[in-house]
Amino acid sequence: MSAPTTTISSLPYELLVAIAVAGQEDRVAESNWEIRTTTFKSEWTLSQLSHRFRDVIVGAPALWTLIETDFISEGSVEILNLYLERSRASKLSIMLCQQWSSRAVGERLLLTGTNHIVPHVHRIQRLRILLEKRWAWDMLALFRDEAAPHLQHLEIVCATLDETPLVMFSSGVPRLDFLKIDGFILQSPAAAFALTHLELRKDWCIDPAYPTLNQYAALTAQCPLLEYLQLDVNWVPEEAPRFLIPTLKYLRISIPGEDADYLLAVVGIFDAPALTELIFDGTHGDQIAFLLGRKTLPHSIFPALTSLTFLLRDSCGCESANENLPSHTISSPPAIFPALSRLTLINQCFTEHLIQDMLGPASHPWPLLKTITLGAVDDSFEKVGAAVEDPMDSKRQRGEPVPEVQLLQLLSRENWSENGPYAERSCSLGKLSSPVSHRT
């Protein structure tokens, strides 16, 4: 008796749908702005193979819920409508891109927003919008009075708008968990109470950011569940607002090039006793020494902080000009971060000096420190590696516990992603190149 043969055309309904779903999985998790053409979408490809496949795939609303539209493409609105129709009442994930400011593209964007997106806003779960300046204001204003009862993830990136805060979803977004806003200020959506993840970027702002910092503080004050916060802090005025966030676990702050005490001023505005991980983007060696040498802070305490990272995306001329040589001695362990066990210095000037300060013969024992990760680019890689060996040997000779040191050779800067070698929290060091040598 011969075994029954299975061909792709005789696959059961459930299996066919499962194949299409599997083809969509990575699209759900993606955080870039690449729009896939229909050719690379499993639901689209499978629905074109045969009549039976078409009936099965088109008849499964859950397969038509991932909508990606680039308004520059002809036919993009028709495809969007097809997805809206086939998804029936299912919850939607929508990504809209408009990066080119011709009048025709802008008008298509507004018309689509008005006629097709807003009427479905009640079933949108995830909304990502990338906009060029000229049409952004009008597009986002379409959502001003709306309620989005199922919206969990909202991400909007705009080229420069102005300083006036925008109002969106004033009728409520009760399930909003993830909010990322880049390029403008969003007036706190009515009921931001469920937010656990908040990213507020404003890289382009060159004016003193005092009102901005106040607006940031006002927004975070409405988020009693906040665990993740990412901010650009471009200026800290004397009367700066304070960020009291008892639930915060992860904080990432970008700073501009500033004086040695700037980093301390930034840390001073946060009161986050549950914070476990802190990342600074844009720091220099003198700022690090100044911060870690402090005995107290005026208000803040960070008793739970175990991981501290300093990162610079650009090159700096501090070492070659012999400027800003750190003159403050790091107290080990740092008094303001008593639980610190993992320290990471990525592309920081004066790394050797800092290491000598922390681990050298004059340093105090620091038994809690378990890991030091040092990342250096090109020619400074060997130099940083060599600088670690002596202090580590002297620690061993004194019979003191020695931390594990990871030395990472970074990709050349031109190959870094938008966020530097750390793409996102979850990527950790994944963006770094090998070889990675361990010197312990």
Q: Which residues bind Zn ion (CB under 5 A)?
A: 284, 316, 318, 349
| Core vs surface per residue 377-398: b (16+ CB within 10 A) or e | beebbeebbebbeebbeebeee
Q: How far, in Å, CA of 143 to CA of 38, rounded?
A: 28
What is the length of the chain?
A: 440
Closer residue to Zn ion, CB minimum distance, 349 or 372? 349
Closer residue to Zn ion, CB minimum distance, 94 or 318? 318
**Minimum distance of Zn ion from residue 413's CB (angstroms):** 14
* 329, 295 contact by CB (below 8 A): no
* 286, 312 contact by CB (below 8 A): no
**Minimum distance of Zn ion from residue 285's CB (angstroms):** 6
- CA 25 to chain CA centroid, Å, is 21
Q: Which amino acid is at 214?
A: N
End-to-end, the C-alpha distance of the chain in Å comes to 65
**Minimum distance of Zn ion from residue 437's CB (angstroms):** 24
**Minimum distance of Zn ion from residue 309's CB (angstroms):** 16
Closer residue to Zn ion, CB minimum distance, 230 or 283? 283
* 269, 307 contact by CB (below 8 A): no
Closer residue to Zn ion, CB minimum distance, 245 or 343? 343
**Minimum distance of Zn ion from residue 432's CB (angstroms):** 20
Q: How many CB atoms lie within 10 A of CB 317?
A: 10
Strand pairing category for 436-438 and 404-410:
antiparallel
- Joined together, the tokens standing for residue 257 give 């090039």
**Minimum distance of Zn ion from residue 316's CB (angstroms):** 3
